[in-house]
Amino acid sequence: MLTQLSIKNYALIDDIKVAFSTGLTTITGETGAGKSILLGALSLLLGKRADNSSVKNSAKKCIIEGDFRIAVYKLEELFETLDLDYEDHTIIRREILPSGKSRAFVNDTPVTLQQLQQLGERLVDIHSQHETRSLLSEKNQLEVIDAVAGNDVLLQNYVEGLQDFKKLQSELRTLVAEKETSAKELDYHTFLYTELQEAKLSKVDQVALEGTYEKLNNAETIQESLASVSKLFSDEQVGVLETAKEARLQLGKIKSFSSEYETLWERLNSVLIELEDIEEEVATQAENLEADPSALFQIQATLQTLYKLQQKHTVATVEELIAIENDLAFKIDETANVDNRIAMLEASVTTAKESLLEVSEKLHKTRLEVIPKLKNQLETFLKMLGLPNAQFQFKMTKISEFTAQGTDALDLLFTANKGAQFGALKKVASGGELSRIMLSIKAVLASYKNLPTLIFDEIDTGVSGEIAQQMATIMEQMSSTMQVCSITHLPQIAAKGNQQIKVYKEDIHNVTTTQLKQLTEEERIVEIAQMIGGHTLTDSALAHAKQLRN
């Protein structure tokens, strides 16, 4: 419930603070006193878009703050969804800065306008003549039936099932589209894969192949060079080995005379050993190297295939080609298995649909069962409100489409007079009748669910006398289980409130401001008497006011 509302620098309001009690609060005041300003400020607090023109002094900040006790509303899950810290005592603040920028806070945590709206609609329900038209919505009419039927769990199961069903349908559509695209690409992918597979890339060592190709392609030149090297090493007259051996022999004669000569001999000996090894390797290479035109042709063909594939796929290594080959194999396999996957998804869609139909059928049955009870309760309230012949017809039919609320289509028909034909509510009900129907619906719902703070904005327009008294009685009954506020011009309703707040204008230093005042019992008697007989108080008006209060 709303426990306190403070408003600073808004419209004609300078700085006011008002406390709200449990039960029924009536708000009275002359036309133009500023009751709509109060509702406008409250709407801002609940997430309405800010308008800088409503700020009283554009050089100062506008602040609207509301204190709420929310333990009975069970909003912990909503707070978690909105990523907010839950507190039983929640404070909401809305600020409009001189720059025109607006910001909002819940328990001092900054929130977006969307977050504020989601929370606000669970805390306060404002009903004016305009909001009364919402009762014409089929969605809202079904919500009333579901509230009376206690369909919360069924509806939750249905919503979850509908989400799963739509998700599976979306996956199936995507897969079918993929199949159509893949079928067009399958031949091309298969051609590329076959081409890569025939290259037997896993057995190809490109570096080794290129080395072998260079050897075979230049075999004659290599053999000539190796023969020349071998001759330079082993020629009996000027060969490197023979010359080095002769030098080692001469150093061997003097190495015993000095360690320096011995070191020279050892170094030359090491060189000679290495030279002999090189000479032997050169001879072996020369012996093993043979011109092989057939092998050269085969290697050349392999490399040409490799280079062609690398150029086609814009890569530089065999490993990258193998990765492309594996990817193509996966795509071909996916295409081949898509029919199986489609069949599995189609089965899942069918199962989800059957489950959804089962839940929607339960919703349909519970709704049909509760309609006579709801019809009787609404017609009883309307009799109290001066429509003794009012009757409803609830025509509910099954539809094939899954909507957000099931597979039911509802036509709510109404007549206010005996012998008159039933017609669609939006066509045959007047504004005054719609207001009474809305009050009746809210009165019924108050018995079945925890409604937020309910504010009626002159819902009593166009009624008087006994009907006004009955309307006040209904509001009083509702306020036993919820907080109800009624902006009213009727003394019968004003008198029923647990508290009464007066909205009035006052000129301070030649500036008109809107003020709020919580009336004492004596002040309430005077205010109600003035609502009955005007500003001139009479004994009869005062007596009537006291009678209404008693």
pLDDT tens-digit readout, 16-55: 999 999 999 999 988 888 888 888 899 999 998 887 778 8
Burial class (CB in 10 A: 0-12, 13-18, 19+), 244: middle
**Which of 157, 122, 87 lies closest to 450, judged by CA?**
122
Q: Is there a single domain that holds both residue 202 and residue 89?
A: no
User: What is the predicted pLDDT for the residue at 186?
Assistant: 63
- pLDDT at site 457: 87
- Within 8 A by CB and 6+ apart from 358, the residues are none
Residue 61: which region, alpha, beta or left (left: phi > 0; alpha: psi -120 to 50)? beta
Domain stops at, among 309, 336, 363? 336
Note whether residue 85 is domain-resident. yes
108 and 193 inside one domain: no
Total domains in the fold of the chain: 2
Asked if the structure places residue 468 within a domain, the reply is yes
Rounded to whole angstroms, the Cα distance separating 347 from 335 reads 19
- Provide the pLDDT for residue 184: 66
Q: What is the mean pLDDT of residues 366-394?
A: 93
- Report yes or no on 165 lying in a domain: no
User: Among 279, 314, 336, where does a domain finish?
Assistant: 336
Same domain, 3 and 114: yes
Q: Single out the residue in 302, 336, 370 at which a domain terminates.
A: 336
Greater confidence (57 vs 494) lies with: 494
Give residue-wise pLDDT tens across range 288-315: 666 556 666 676 677 777 778 878 888 8
What are the tens digits of pLDDT across the range 136-168?
A: 788 889 989 999 999 999 999 999 999 999 999
Q: What is the DSSP string of 427-485?
A: HH--HHHHHHHHHHHHHHHTTTS---EEEEESTTTT--HHHHHHHHHHHHHHTTTS-EE
430 within some domain: no
- 265 touches 328 (CB < 8 A): no
Going from the C-alpha of 537 to that of each of 194, 427, 528, the distances in angstroms are 104, 44, 10
Compute the CA torsion angle 414, 450, 357, 405 (nearest 10 deg). 50
Which tens digit of pLDDT belongs to each residue from 187-246? Answer: 676 777 787 777 777 777 767 766 766 666 555 666 666 666 666 566 655 667 777 776
Same-domain pairing of 328 and 234: yes
Distances (CA, A) of 472 to 126, 132, 431, 436, 519: 17, 18, 19, 12, 19
* One domain for residues 53 and 119: yes
CA nearest to 385, candidates 446, 432, 445, 436: 436
Q: What is the DSSP string of 265-334?
A: HHHHHHHHHHHHHHHHHHHHHHHH----HHHHHHHHHHHHHHHHHHHHHT-SSHHHHHHHHHHHHHHHHH
Backbone angles phi and psi of 351, in degrees to 5: -65, -45
Q: Which two tokens stand for residue 308?
A: 């062609």
Residues 105 and 208 both lie in one domain: no
C-alpha 428: how far from its chain's center? Answer: 40
How many whole angstroms separate alpha carbon 351 and alpha carbon 372? Answer: 34
* Residue 10 tokens, joined: 């808004």
Select the highest-mean-pLDDT range: 119-128, 254-263, 270-279. Answer: 119-128
Cα–Cα nearest to 501, from 17, 2, 18:
18
Tokens for 74, please give them: 């069970």
- Is residue 417 included in any domain, yes or no? no
- Tokens (6 digits) for 305: 């295939």
**CATH number, residue 41:** 3.40.50.300
Q: 100: part of which helix (H) or strand (E)?
A: none
**Are both 203 and 325 inside the same structural domain?**
yes
| Phi-psi category of residue 355: left, alpha or beta, with phi > 0 → left and psi -120 to 50 → alpha | alpha
Q: Which run of H or E residues covers position 395?
A: strand 391-403
pLDDT value, residue 394: 94
Structure tokens at 545: 């006011």
Question: Is the domain of 294 the same as that of 222?
Answer: yes
Residues 328 and 187 in one domain: yes
Q: Is residue 526 part of a domain?
A: no
The structure tokens 């009748």 sit at 433
What does the pLDDT look like over 410-448, one tens digit per residue? 999 999 998 889 998 888 888 778 888 888 988 998 888
Between residues 523 and 277, the one the model is more confident about: 523
Positive or negative: CA dihedral 461, 464, 469, 471: negative
Residues 202, 70: one domain?
no
* pLDDT band at 340; cut points 50, 70, 90: confident
Residue 158 lies in a domain: no
10 Å CB burial of residue 247 (0-12, 13-18, 19+) is: middle
Q: Is residue 200 located within the same domain as residue 77?
A: no
Q: Give yes or no: residues 208 and 117 share one domain.
A: no
**Residue-level pLDDT at 81:** 92
**Range of 223's domain?**
179-336
Q: What is the pLDDT of residue 175?
A: 85
- Mean pLDDT, all residues of the chain: 85
Are 63 and 93 within 8 A, CB to CB?
yes
Total H helices, total E strands in the chain: 18, 15
| Tens digit of each residue's pLDDT (9 = 90 or more) over 450-500 | 788 999 988 877 777 888 889 999 999 999 889 999 999 899 999 999 999
pTM above 0.85, yes or no: no
- Identify whether the C-beta of residue 457 lies closer than 8 Å to the C-beta of residue 485: no
